[in-house]
Each structure stands twice: as C-alpha cells, then as structure tokens.
C-alpha cells in the first residue's frame, strides 16, 4: 500500500519522520535515558494529524488499513536507522572540536543529526560568553 502512494507523498512522509525525530531528540537533549519510542510516535502522530499536508491527501481506506500501518512503521524504522547511522561530516567534527576546546566541554555525538544539535548548543554557549 505504501508503495502505491505518489513519490511526493512518500517523500513528504520521510521528511516528516526525519524532522519529527530530530525535533524530539533535540527536545530531550539527545538523551538515551529519556528516549521513549512511544513518546516519539505520539509526537509524530500529533504532527501528521494537525500539521502535515500530505496526511489529508491519503484516502481514508488506506489510512485505516492495517497493512498500511505496518508498512508505515517499517518506513519509520528505516528512516530512524538511516539518521542514526549517518556519520557526522568532517567539517562538523572539526568545528565541534574547536568549540569544545574553547568552552572546555566534552559532548559526545554519534551521528550527523546529533552533531548538528551539539554544534548548535556549543555555538549558543559561545555566543552567550561573548555577551
């Protein structure tokens, strides 16, 4: 069923998963201890039903089909695995290391998305120290 959706809708679904996951992880400070897959799904479900334009374009008979939900869950898992396995860029690593040295911090990060979070956090701290 998922495969029958238009490429635009599939792309929008993937983007919404990525954006929701990165926002959720940012909200919890990329803390493994605070991570709760059920909470992420609840956040994503709220997003798609209240803000996602693609959701209303999917016919009700597809949205109510258990096979669609199974395929959608697989897409979520695939997207999360891709995000978590995407390594930080060399430039990101270098910038983070410079900031960590300047700020005497020791944040760890395992993927590109988490590195973006850490870099933004460190840049904000650096800006606050300049004031």
* Cα 69 to Cα 19: distance, rounded to the nearest angstrom: 19
What integer pLDDT is reported at residue 3 of this predicted model? 82
Q: Which residues of the chain have pLDDT under 70?
A: none
What integer pLDDT is reported at residue 92 of this predicted model? 96
What integer pLDDT is reported at residue 131 of this predicted model? 72
CA dihedral 42, 67, 52, 3 (to 10 degrees): 140
* Cα 11 to Cα 107: distance, rounded to the nearest angstrom: 32
Encoding tokens for residue 94?
A: 């270098």
């Amino acid at each position: 069923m998922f495969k029958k959706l238009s490429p635009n809708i599939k792309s929008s679904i993937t983007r919404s998963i990525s954006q929701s996951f990165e926002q959720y992880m940012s909200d919890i400070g990329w803390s493994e201890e605070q991570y709760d897959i059920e909470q992420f799904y609840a956040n994503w479900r709220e997003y798609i039903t209240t803000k996602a334009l693609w959701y209303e374009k999917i016919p009700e008979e597809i949205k109510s089909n258990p096979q669609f939900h199974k395929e959608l869950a697989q897409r979520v898992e695939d997207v999360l695995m891709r995000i978590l396995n995407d390594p930080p860029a060399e430039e990101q690593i270098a910038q983070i290391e410079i900031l960590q040295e300047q700020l005497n911090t020791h944040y760890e990060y395992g993927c590109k998305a988490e590195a973006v979070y850490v870099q933004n956090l460190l840049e904000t701290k650096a800006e606050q120290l300049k004031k």
